[in-house]
Structure 1
Amino acid sequence: MDVEALRTFVTVAGTGHFQAAADELGVSQQAVSKRIAALERRLEVVLVVRTPRGSRLSPDGQVLLPHARAAVAAVERAEQSVRPGSRPLRIDVLNRRILPAQAVHRFYRSRPGTELDAVTLSEANAGQAARAVLDGTVDASFRALPADRVPAGLSIERLLDAPLELLVGPGHPLAGSPGVTPTDLVGHRIWIPGIAPGTEWASFHRSLAETFGLSIDALGPHFGDEALMDALAESASLATLVGGGDRYLWPQTHDLRRIPLHDPTPVYPHLLLFRSGDRHPVLTALRDHLRTAAPQAPQEVWMPEWVAG
Structure 2
Amino acid sequence: MDLEAVRTFIAVAEGGRFQGAAADLSITQQAVSKRVAALERGLGVRLFTRAPRGAELTIDGRAFLPHARELLRVAERAVASVRPGRRPLRVDVLNSRGAQSGLMRGFHQAYPDLDLDVVMLFEIGTAIAALRSGAIDASFRAVAAPGPPLPEDIESVRVLDEPLQLLTGPAHALAGARSVTVAQLAGHRIWMPGLVPGTEWAAYYDDLVAAFGLTIEATGPNFGSDALLDTIADTPALATFMGEHTRLIWPAGHDLRRIPVTDPTPVYPHSLLWHRDNPHPALATLRAHLAATTAGHGTAGTWVPGWVSPR
TM-score, with structure 1 as normaliser: 0.73
Aligned alpha-carbon RMSD (Å): 3.0
Which structure 2 residues correspond to residues 264-275 of structure 1 after superposition, within 5 A?
A: 264-275=264-275
Instruction: Report the equivalent of 1:163.
Output: 163
Q: Work out whether 1:175 is the aligned partner of 2:146.
A: no
Which structure 2 residues correspond to residues 251-290 of structure 1 after superposition, within 5 A?
A: 251-290=251-290
CA contact (8 A) 1:99 1:243 kept: yes
Instruction: Report the equivalent of 1:104.
Output: 104
In the superposition, relative to structure 1, how do residues 296 and 257 fare at CA in structure 2: closer, same or farther (>3 Å)?
Answer: farther
Instruction: Report the equivalent of 1:299.
Output: 300
Q: Work out whether 1:135 is the aligned partner of 2:133.
A: yes
- Structure 1 residue ranges without an equivalent (≥5): 1-12, 15-20, 22-55, 68-73
TM-score, with structure 2 as normaliser: 0.73
Q: Distance in 2 between matches of 1:101 and 1:66?
A: 54
The amino acid that maps onto 2:210 is E
Instruction: Report the equivalent of 1:240.
Output: 240
What's the CA shift for 1:59? 5.7
- Structure 2 residue ranges without an equivalent (≥5): 1-21, 39-73
CA contact (8 A) 1:269 1:303 kept: yes
CA contact (8 A) 1:133 1:274 kept: yes
What's the CA shift for 1:80? 5.7
SS at match of 2:180: coil
- Alignment size in residue pairs: 255
What's the CA shift for 1:154? 0.6
Which structure 2 residues correspond to residues 108-127 of structure 1 after superposition, within 5 A?
A: 108-121=108-121, 124-127=122-125
Instruction: Report the equivalent of 1:36.
Output: none
In the superposition, relative to structure 1, how do residues 290 and 58 fare at CA in structure 2: closer, same or farther (>3 Å)?
Answer: closer
What's the CA shift for 1:140? 0.9
Q: Work out whether 1:187 is the aligned partner of 2:187.
A: yes
Per mean C-alpha deviation after superposition, the further-off stretch among 147-156 and 134-143 is 147-156
TM superposition outliers: structure 1 runs of 4+ over 4 Å: 56-62, 64-67, 74-81
Which structure 2 residues correspond to residues 183-222 of structure 1 after superposition, within 5 A?
A: 183-222=183-222
Instruction: Report the equivalent of 2:34.
Output: 63
The amino acid that maps onto 1:141 is S
The amino acid that maps onto 2:118 is A
What's the CA shift for 1:178? 1.4
In the superposition, relative to structure 1, how do residues 286 and 58 fare at CA in structure 2: closer, same or farther (>3 Å)?
Answer: closer
The amino acid that maps onto 2:123 is N
CA contact (8 A) 1:100 1:160 kept: no
Q: Distance in 2 between matches of 1:66 and 1:200?
A: 61
What's the CA shift for 1:194? 2.0
In the superposition, relative to structure 1, how do residues 188 and 83 fare at CA in structure 2: closer, same or farther (>3 Å)?
Answer: same
